[in-house]
Amino acid sequence: MLIIGIAGGTGSGKTTVARSVIDRLGQDKVTFISQDNYYKDQPHLSMPEREALNYDHPLVFDNDLLIQHLNCLKMGLPARAPVYDFTVHARSAVDTVELKANNIVILEGLHVLSDENLRSLLDIKVFVDTDPDVRVLRRVLRDIEERGRTIQSIHKQYLNSVKPMHEAFIEPSKKYADLILPEGGQNEVGIQLLSVLTEKYLTN
């Protein structure tokens, strides 16, 4: 099994890169995992308390569960990933995502390269490097359209957690990358290169 980790800042185009590679390889050959689904569940907290959490810090992720699932896949066993609902800041009580033990696994998320234990399971480490102004605009649109946020809450969260956590953890994790893709999903050459490297593994 080949595990590809794709990291980068918010709105950098990580998911677009992952989906582009999957489209080239064939969806039946690749298992896609979003680190976003592995936010820690906090049912003991009230909604205001959950809203106040720093969702851009690496410790807010349940990497122990994620690592457990990756190890299951490496052994040829399926797993069921949680589904995180950002509108209520909690895991779904009923929905999960089936993870199949394919030859190729693509893991995408903010802190895929920040955690040493998680990083050690990755065969190819990718960092998507996109200009901050582009990332901010993408985040604003996503949070309004998909997560029901107000522009005021997005502004506050960006200044209080998104920007400082990017500078403290995400940007430094770039040094662990095997491949850096400037401009994310717009980088056709980089995506093609990553796809070719992966295809070579499939044929060996």
Spell out the SS3 assignment of 124-184: EEEEEECCHHHHHHHHHHHHHHHHCCCHHHHHHHHHHHHHHHHHHHHHHHHHHCCEEEECH
Which tens digits make up the pLDDT trace of 134-183? 877 887 887 888 877 888 888 888 888 888 999 999 999 999 999 999 87
* Residues of the chain under the 70 pLDDT cut: 204
| CA dihedral (156, 185, 78, 103) positive or negative | negative
CB 38 within 8 A of CB 157: no
Per-residue pLDDT tens over the stretch 5-15: 999 988 888 99
- pLDDT attached to residue 165: 93
Domains in the chain: boundaries:
2-199
H helix or E strand, kind and range, residue 66: helix 63-74
Q: List all residues 6 or more positions away from 25 whose beta carbon is below 8 Å from its beta carbon.
A: 104, 195, 198, 199, 202
CATH of 2-199, one of 3.40.50.300, 2.170.130.10, 3.30.1490.20, 3.90.380.10: 3.40.50.300
